Amino acid sequence: MKYTKTIFEGQFLHLSVLTILIVTLFGITRIWDFFEGQYLGISTATWFYLSIATSILHQVYVWFCWRTQFHFSLITRVFGQVGFTYYGIGFFILFFLRFIFVTFLAISNMGTFGADTSLLYASAVIITLPALYLFYSVKRYFGIERALGADHFDGSYRNSPLVTKGMYRFVNNGMYIFGVAIIWVPGLVFASRAALLAAMFQHLYIWVHYYTTEKPDMKRIYGSD
């Protein structure tokens, strides 16, 4: 098919880096004990695996929806005008599950990261404040729809100017720097070694999505990096 190669653009690199991340991640868990504790009758190890699996599923879901919609209009062909809404519902379900699972993981494994509590709380606040400002900036200046990838669904976005207000005055990729950083907060608040490891994986992995999926797409859609 004409666009099959384009749909998979960057995904060999995606899979390769993901494999390295997973091997490294589980190598670390074999060297040190990260799986102490349980919550709601479910082991820390299970919460950890759920956290990692959901983050992978979320980013693969976004890649599939973006690429098949952009090149084949698959989502809107199947669901019509509500296609973007259905995609958005799936996005937010997976997004919130990522945060829920890492929070439950942190509770299950609480008190395992040996650091001063005040320092951990201060770090959580330092991360949360710019993240909140970013979310405000997205809602007010950028738009939730555009942040979800509406430019893959609606060609009119391709003429939209670069947003330079709010957090976007300072950084272009605020969501990847500050937005995803919120995933560190549960591990810091509950001093959980396993949750901090899961957060590290998720924050590194989001950059894999950026370089292998979003950046090539933005070049095609807007004709620039």
Q: Read off the DSSP letter of residue 177.
A: I
Most distant CA pair in the chain: distance in Å? 57
- Indicate the DSSP class of residue 190: T
| DSSP conformation class of 110 | T
Cα separation of 107 and 111, whole Å?
A: 9
Question: DSSP labels for 117-175?
Answer: HHHHHHHHHHHHHHHHHHHHHIIIII-HHHHHTGGGT-GGGGGPPPP-SGGGGT-S-HI
Q: Could you read off the pLDDT of 201-217 as tens digits, one per residue?
A: 999 999 999 999 999 98
Tens of pLDDT, residue by residue over 13-50, are 999 999 999 999 989 998 888 899 999 999 999 999 99
Kindly report the pTM of this predicted structure.
Answer: 0.91
